[in-house]
Amino acid sequence: MSQPTLDELFERRITYPDFDLKERLDRLVGLDHYKLRLTKMLGLLVNPKHLQDWMVRHHPQADRLISLVSCRPPLVILAGDVGSGKTELAETIGDAVARQEHIDLTLFPLSLSTRGQGRVGEMTQLISAAFDHTVAEATKLKGHGGKTRGGIILLIDEADALAQSREAAQMHHEDRAGVNALIRGVNRLANAHLPAAVIMCTNRLGALDPAVKRRAADIMEFTRPDDEQRRAVLRGALHDAAFSAHDLDALVAATGSTAKHSYGFTFSDLTQRLLPAIVLDAYPDSAISAKRAVEITKRMNATPPFKEAGNE
């Protein structure tokens, strides 16, 4: 098998900072806790110099503590239900990290075709090649004394397709070898202390290999938006359309759990389905009506939660 090209390995390349990506990140209303936590985590992974500076200022004798923090594998797992915002956050958070650390970052989203066509050794070679490229690019950016000239983020969406637990009895040998290659790649980044991090996104945290989860510096679990998070999304979009607090209360209630369904709307249900439907219903002849918006909401079904096999 010939060496795979960059286009075969990665869907595209995204560079930060970028104003359009900042706007996309800002539109992720209700995820401020995740944004802050992930920005700090990735900042420490790609630019450990600032952690050392913080230690010198506040805890100059805490070398052992800082070593434990800085020596964690450069892996973060974002897990949660469909439409919870984890993939959009993974694709845009690099802008916040780049601005915080005052460096340029590049995101390499691993192509799902990296799973290969099932030929012996193919998936292992593709995963290894993706990490080879990540290491090569990050090595160019590594500076002296922990200071970095930039950073790389490798994004693996639908990570359970590549990192499924090797404990599964029906797992093919090639899939096991692919998981081993992925673990070796994460270890390689960690041991080289490169300005690089890996983000994995999955709807099926329980399906990930235990060794992969053990290597995660952090596992962030995303849930559907609660009442206040849904209110924040709706208020941000509809406040300038003259929706009152009472109108928003009615929409918040209509997008929550009902007698028919025990689950409410996802973030993507709100932003990609409901709000466009409200606009298109009024366009082009009339203004948006709060009463009509509630009617549209009550007719729309929330996306059902993702169910793992065996949890039906």
Model pLDDT for residues 106-117, shown as the tens digit of each residue: 999 987 665 555
Q: Is the pLDDT of residue 94 over 60?
A: yes
Q: Is the pLDDT of residue 5 over 50?
A: yes
For residue 129, the 8-state DSSP code is: H
Q: Is the pLDDT of residue 122 over 80?
A: no
* pLDDT score at 72: 85
Cis bond before residue 48 (omega within 30° of 0): no
Structure-token pair, residue 266: 């996802």
* pLDDT score at 197: 96
CA nearest neighbour of 130 among 72, 172, 189: 189
* pLDDT score at 308: 59
Count of other CB atoms within 10 angstroms of residue 33: 9
Residues in CB range of 271: below 8 A, 6 or more apart:
27, 233, 237
What domains, with CATH codes, occur in the chain? 6-222 (3.40.50.300), 227-299 (no CATH)
* pLDDT score at 312: 39
Range picked from 117-131, 171-185, 209-223 for highest mean pLDDT: 209-223
* pLDDT score at 27: 87
For residue 273, the 8-state DSSP code is: I
| 6/202: higher pLDDT | 202
State the DSSP H helix or E strand holding residue 42, giving kind and residue range, or none if neither: helix 32-46
| 207/123: higher pLDDT | 207
* Mean predicted confidence (pLDDT) in 224-228: 93
Alpha-carbon dihedral sign for residues 227, 229, 234, 239: positive
How far, in Å, CA of 80 to CA of 61, rounded? 39
How far, in Å, CA of 288 to CA of 141, rounded? 51
On whether the CB atoms of residues 232 and 29 are closer than 8 A, the answer is: yes
Per-residue confidence band for 281, with pLDDT thresholds at 50, 70 and 90:
very high
* Mean predicted confidence (pLDDT) in 267-293: 95
* pLDDT score at 309: 52
Question: What is the pLDDT of the chain when averaged over all its residues?
Answer: 88
Radius of gyration of the chain (CA): 22
In DSSP terms, 125 is beta-bridged to: none
* pLDDT score at 48: 85
| 111/231: higher pLDDT | 231
For residue 111, the 8-state DSSP code is: P
* pLDDT score at 273: 96
Lowest average pLDDT, out of 173-182, 211-220, 290-299, goes to 173-182
State the DSSP H helix or E strand holding residue 104, giving kind and residue range, or none if neither: strand 104-109
φ, ψ of residue 111 to 5 degrees: the values are: -70, 140
How far, in Å, CA of 269 to CA of 266, rounded? 5
Determine if residue 193 is left, alpha or beta; phi over 0 gives left, psi from -120 to 50 gives alpha, anything else beta.
left
pLDDT tens by residue, 39-93: 999 999 888 888 888 999 999 999 998 888 888 899 999 999 888 899 999 999 9
